Amino acid sequence: MSNRVLVRFAVVVIACMLTTSSTWAQGTCANPGSPREAAIDPCTTPDTVAGSTSGAPRLERNYDFNAQAGGNYTFTFCSGGGTATYDTALSIWNQSGTTLQVCNDDFCGLRSELNWVAPTTATYTLRVGGFSTSSQGSYTLAYSSDIACAGGGGGPAVPASSTWSLIAAAALIMLVAAGRLGRSS
C-alpha cells in the first residue's frame, strides 16, 4: 500500500471517529433543560444529594453551583457515598446551558465522575443524566471542592500541612520557653 493510500485511509478513519463521537456526545452531554433542583455548594466538606432521573423532564436533574476560578471540583457516583442504579452521565455547563465545560460518561464501570478546575468565577450548572434517553434511575451524587464552604458552613477548613508545621514549631518553642522559665524561678 502506498503512503498516499494510507494517508487517505487515516483521514477517513479520523473523520468517522469525529462524527461518531460528536453524535455520541450530543446524547450523553446534552445541554441542561430549564428545571433546576436546589442549588448545591461544593466545598472542602464533602456532601451528597440523592435523586432520580426516572420521570424527570428530559430524564435529567440539573443543579446550579457557584465556582471560584482555579477551584478544583469533584462530582462522582464512584466514591465518597456516590452511587447510581443506571448508566450515568455528568456534564458541567455555563449557567445558561450554552457552553459545555466538561463531560463524562463512564469513569468506574457505567457510572460517571468529573474532576474539574473552574476557569472563571461564575455560577455553573451540573447536569445529571444518562448515556441515552432510555437510561434512567436513582442516584446519590457525592461532591466536594478544595474551596471553603460559602458562609463558613460545614465546619472549619482543615489547615494545609505547611500550617501544621508552623503550629508544631510554635508549640515546641512554647514548651522550650516554658521549661526554661520554670527552671529560673
> Rounded distance, CA 148 to CA 154, Å?
9
Confidence of residue 144 (pLDDT cuts 50, 70, 90): very high
Tens of pLDDT, residues 9-65: 443 334 333 333 333 333 578 888 878 888 999 999 999 999 999 888 888 999 999
32-150 belongs to CATH 2.60.120.380: yes
- Residue 50 Rama label (left phi>0; alpha psi -120 to 50; beta): beta
Q: What pLDDT is attached to residue 35?
A: 82
Residue spans per domain, the chain = 32-150
**Element housing 175 (H / E):** helix 161-184
* 3-state SS class at 54: coil
- The whole-model pTM stands at 0.67
What are the φ/ψ torsions at residue 173 (nearest 5 degrees)?
A: -60, -40
